[in-house]
Structure 1
Amino acid sequence: MCDSLLKPAVVDTETAVQENKLRQAHYYNKGAKQLRPLQEGEQVRVQTEVGHHLYWTPASVMGQVKDRSYTVKLENGTILRRNQRHLRPSPGVSPKKEAIRVGDPQAPRLINTTPPTPASPDPQTAREVITTRCGRVIKRPAHLRDFV
């Protein structure tokens, strides 16, 4: 065995810990993006929790408290302080005045609210057009046309 391996070496733990923290912060913040600042009086939706359910409630921004913290006023007059991650800008007037539950399939969609137009039926087969809930036309496979 080599005698030099038995001699103690001084390890600078402070710089090693600091480098480790910087490396972890780099990978943690890799997908982060800067949110645009909200203006006073802007209409937003605030994520609130009722029981075990999350809702997006309409509100109005009163002002900015810190970098990502805002005070908002709900429609019922309640004033809350929320982080910007719990605020979403409203696209104008909401389709419903009540709160929308997060992940609710019955909630109105805020994008592409016009249903797609179904394709015209096949002239050879005088069958009615069957569509899915989202409006996509269901076409039967060609090998099943012999059967009714």
Structure 2
Amino acid sequence: MVQDITNSIKLETGGETWTIKNDNPFSGTGGVAIGIEFFDSSYGYIGISGASGNKSKIWLTRDGGESFTEIQLPMEAVDKLPAEGEKYGLSIEDYQYLSMPEYDNKSLTIKVMTNSEEDTGILFESLDKGASWKLKN
């Protein structure tokens, strides 16, 4: 199943009603949902990918989907590519696919890869619920 994401909606009353909360939450960017994860009723992430699977964006909400902010990772901090990327002559510009954030009770991590099928990538970490991100060595 493929889901095209263009609106932000909120499920209310146990599924009896749905309310459009924001009809353009991603600044005109649409795509295929790669994940929707909420850690409480207000704070969550939505991942959107293009059809090629080579590029994705992660969006953060702190108000239950009323508004979203695109996650900006400090790619300029990367001084060494993964060994696989170096082996094939890739550059930092080839790394544009962001995984959904993973939470381990103290931090969030996002892995940046060259496509959705890749296992290795560049890891970033947030210790403040996505307000800031740093390269994780």
Q: TM-score, normalised by structure 1?
A: 0.25
Query: Higher helix proportion, which one?
Result: 1
> Relative contact order: is structure 1 or structure 2 higher (C-alpha 8 Å, sep ≥ 6)?
2
Q: TM-score, normalised by structure 2?
A: 0.27
Query: Higher strand proportion, which one?
Result: 2
